Amino acid sequence: MRTRPLKVALLGCGVVGSEVARIMTTHADDLTQRIGAPVELAGVAVRRPSKVREGIDPELVTTDATALLKRGDIDIAIEVIGGIEPARTLITTAFEHGISVVSANKALLAQDGAALHAAAEQHGLDLYYEAAVAGAIPLVRPMRESLAGDKINRVMGIVNGTTNFILDKMDSTGAGYQEALDEATALGYAEADPTADVEGYDAAAKAAILAGIAFHTRVRLDDVYREGMTEVSAADFASAKRMGCTIKLLAILERAADGESVTARVHPAMIPLTHPLASVREAYNAVFVEAEAAGQLMFYGPGAGGAPTASAVLGDLVAVARNKLAEATGPGESAYTQLPVSPMGDVVTRYHISLDVADKPGVLAQVATTFAEHGVSIDTVRQQGKDGEASLVVVTHRAPDAALSGTVEALRKLDTVRGVASIMRVEGE
């Protein structure tokens, strides 16, 4: 057992960082045994130095994160500041000074993961980021390491806890979007500005990271098709229920049938109540992975929160510390397949379309013809009429998304179609 400690710089001490510091302190002896050397919290970089931080020696606190990294004795940096800058520059500085990095920063990894991995590799160092996707759930390491001998073909998951909480409330109580969002905010799930969550940016960043790992290719944030969930209505849930479905904000990553390309998307979708993801309640996350040899795997657990996220960070800290002692590094970026990311139009899926139409002879035929003209086959049609108007709900068979959206565009132009009340993809069947 080495007695000289590995020194750790904690960059950020907010929701996640404060829990990382607490666990490092309270579990110091166990961590020492598991790593084979003590890990010492050698400095804590924050923005507001005067804030009282329970359990943190004020002597360790600094506002100069760069100086902390450059002082010459740091072995590992834990970046839990978030956002692009100064996190990116600090991680780069760490690598330039021989420091391995653990980060929880999905936004940065989705945007600049390739460059950061290259910098880590250039300096013979580690970049670990289990906490960046789905909080406490072990997912990045199982996909990068445990499934490294298999071939992942599909990943479908709920990777944002805030939106799952909102959709779950809408489903279980019949609440509208705003009411459910207000409850999520009051309970501390949604941030004051919930845009990143409800518009799907947070999930898209996680999708980009997971797609890169799953398919051994580079998937940038811009490659991920993204739709938020702010338009999902109580009426959509009523329709979903009639179909034996619920609605989830899903991240879906797929290898094309010919294996020559991949797709990555985030959008709300109906899934059957019998699908394992349908039973993921509250702010939990779950990711369903389909691999060639392993078959179907489900990863489930808390996707956010200080302590759960710190658990993933600490797991990475132990792995990186062990690597340091062994003078080795863990797996770096694997992007050898260089598979292109196809546009959303190429995705093959099903649509649930709710139309307000005139209730008169020939309307159904006109609508059906429009679907046929776009090569989209109808699975079911349900019509309910009232006072010369009717609501028409069409569920299609699988077709390319471009054909489905072309159909909707054409339907909007029909005189007999008063409006397209909702469009929702149907997944997981």
Considering only residues 129 to 148 of the shown chain, the ones binding ligand NDP according to CB under 6 A are 131, 135
Contact flag: residue 46 with ligand NDP (CB under 6 A): yes
Strands 61-62 and 245-255: unpaired
Contact flag: residue 65 with ligand NDP (CB under 6 A): yes
197 binds, among ligand NDP, ligand HSE, none (CB under 5 to 8 A by kind): ligand HSE
Question: Which three-class secondary structure string do you get for 341-367?
Answer: ECCHHHCEEEEEEEEEEECCCCHHHHH
Nearest approach in angstroms of CB 187 to ligand NDP is: 13
Beta carbon nearer to ligand NDP, 59 or 415: 59
Give the Cα separation of 275 and 271 in Å (integer): 7
Q: Got the DSSP string for 32-84?
A: HHHHTS-EEEEEEE-S-TTS--TT--GGGEES-HHHHHHTS---EEEE-S-SS
**Residue 290 tokens, joined:** 């389909």
* 13-21, 266-274, 282-290, 344-352 -> range binding ligand NDP (CB under 6 A): 13-21
Burial label for 112, CB within 10 Å (0-12, 13-18, 19+), is: buried
Write the DSSP symbol of residue 121.
H
Beta carbon nearer to ligand HSE, 45 or 134: 134
> Which of 48, 295, 336, 387 contacts ligand NDP by CB under 6 A?
48
**Residue 77 tokens, joined:** 């940096």
Instruction: Characterize 136-145 residue by residue with b for buried, 16 or more Cβ atoms within 10 angstroms of its Cβ, and e for exposed.
Output: bbebbbbbbe
Beta carbon nearer to ligand NDP, 137 or 394: 137
Beta carbon nearer to ligand NDP, 46 or 390: 46
Nearest approach in angstroms of CB 190 to ligand HSE is: 8
Q: Which residues bind ligand HSE (CB under 6 A)?
A: 135, 160-162, 197, 202, 303-304
Nearest approach in angstroms of CB 182 to ligand HSE is: 16
Quick note: the x/- pattern for ligand NDP over 154-193, rule CB under 6 A, is: ----------------------------------------
Contact flag: residue 13 with ligand NDP (CB under 6 A): yes
160 binds, among ligand HSE, ligand NDP, none (CB under 5 to 8 A by kind): ligand HSE
Nearest approach in angstroms of CB 224 to ligand HSE is: 15
Does the annotation mark 413 as catalytic?
A: no
Nearest approach in angstroms of CB 109 to ligand HSE is: 12
Write the DSSP symbol of residue 143.
I
**420 closest CA partner among 393, 382, 395:** 393
Candidate list 169, 206, 248, 324, residue with the active-site label: 206
Contact flag: residue 315 with ligand NDP (CB under 6 A): no
CA 306 from chain center: how many Å?
17
For the chain, first and last CA: distance in Å?
53
363 binds, among ligand HSE, ligand NDP, none (CB under 5 to 8 A by kind): none
Report whether 166 contacts 192 (CB < 8 A).
Answer: no
Order of strands, sheet of 76-79, starting from the edge strand that comes earlier in the sequence: 61-62, 39-45, 6-11, 76-79, 100-103, 127-128
Considering only residues 91 to 110 of the shown chain, the ones binding ligand NDP according to CB under 6 A are 104-106
Beta carbon nearer to ligand NDP, 105 or 246: 105
Beta carbon nearer to ligand NDP, 130 or 168: 130
Contact flag: residue 305 with ligand NDP (CB under 6 A): yes
Beta carbon nearer to ligand HSE, 194 or 428: 194
Q: Got the DSSP string for 175-234?
A: --HHHHHHHHHHTTSS-SS-HHHHTSHHHHHHHHHHHHHHHTS---GGGSEE--STT--H
Q: Give me the helix-helix angle, 87-96 and 106-122, nearest 10°.
A: 20
Q: Which positions ≥6 away from 221 have C-beta within 8 Å?
A: 110, 111, 204, 205, 208
Nearest approach in angstroms of CB 120 to ligand NDP is: 17
Nearest approach in angstroms of CB 123 to ligand HSE is: 28
Integer-rounded Cα radius of gyration of the chain = 24
Contact flag: residue 80 with ligand NDP (CB under 6 A): yes
Nearest approach in angstroms of CB 185 to ligand HSE is: 12
Which contiguous run of DSSP H or E holds residue 124?
Answer: none
Interacting residue ranges for ligand NDP, rule: CB under 6 A: 12-17, 45-48, 51, 65, 80-82, 86, 104-106, 131, 135, 304-305, 309
Q: Catalytic amino acids?
A: 206
